[in-house]
Structure 1
Amino acid sequence: MSNSNLNCSVSNCAHNNGGACFAGSINVAGSSATTTSSTSCSSYEDKSASGFTNCAGGCSCTKTSNISCQAGNCKHNSLGSCTASNVQINAQNASCETFISE
């Protein structure tokens, strides 16, 4: 298992391998979000509809430093980058559970 500070509970995402994200980088959408449910990982790829699979061997997992964040109202957003020490993506709707409204 990788040592990522990005934890993903979306088991049906093609980038997810055991809770770690192997997308390389992700984008969190929600430019006018004021709640967690108004955010989403727009890098989500449905595993059943995707033609690719995650990289589990020689690839590195996605870290919070590789998150582009459009949620301008989040206290962890600094000029479009995530500054949270750990990020959790929700299994239900791929929302960013780390979002905290300013």
Structure 2
Amino acid sequence: MSSINCSVKNCSHNNSGVCYANKITVNGKRAHTSTHTCCSTFLDGEHYGTLTNNTNGGGSCSMIGCNVKTCNYNASNVCTLDNISVDTQSPKANLYEETYCASFKNK
């Protein structure tokens, strides 16, 4: 079962460093580094409250969609890793573009 470790503290899906969204999607079609990717599922907890118990299975997120064609782990738009890490370069992300998949590996 896949899991998403999340260092984006203000994401509404983050529950103690684990993502609890129904599924996430990583974007960055022509990414060459991890910082050219983003978690398009990010929602700022300040505006969307806490959504940490929003998964269909009642647990952490286990579906990782990937639209990053240049990622080594993308297989038909699904991530093949057992777990990934989502991070941000800023202390507080405001938009999903300020997040990135730290597990990205360029082909």
TM-score tier, shorter chain, comes to: 0.7 to 0.9
Deviation at 1:4, TM superposition (A): 6.0
Unpaired segments of 5 or more residues in structure 1?
A: none
Question: Does the C-alpha gap of structure 1 residues 51 and 19 become closer, same or farther in structure 2, counting only changes over 3 Å?
Answer: closer
TM-score of the pair, normalised by structure 1 = 0.86
Unpaired segments of 5 or more residues in structure 2?
A: 90-97
Is residue 55 of structure 2 the alignment partner of residue 50 of structure 1? no
2:102 to 81, 97, 101: 97
Secondary structure of the residue that 2:43 maps to in structure 1? coil
Please show how residues 8-87 of structure 1 align to structure 2 within 5 Å: 8-51=6-49, 53-55=51-53, 59-63=58-62, 66-87=63-84
Looking at structure 1, the residues matched to 72 and 10 of structure 2 have their Cα atoms a distance apart, in angstroms, of 29
Looking at structure 1, the residues matched to 76 and 51 of structure 2 have their Cα atoms a distance apart, in angstroms, of 31
Looking at structure 1, the residues matched to 70 and 46 of structure 2 have their Cα atoms a distance apart, in angstroms, of 33
Looking at structure 2, the residues matched to 4 and 12 of structure 1 have their Cα atoms a distance apart, in angstroms, of 22
**Runs of 4 or more above 4 Å deviation:** none
Higher strand share: 2
What is the aligned length? 97
Amino acid at match of 2:61: T
Q: Is the 8 A contact 2:20 2:51 kept in 1?
A: no
Q: Is the 8 A contact 1:8 1:91 kept in 2?
A: no
Superposed CA deviations along residues 43-85 of structure 1, whole A, max 9, x for unmatched, are: 00000011553218x821112xx01101110000001000012
Identity of aligned residues (%): 35
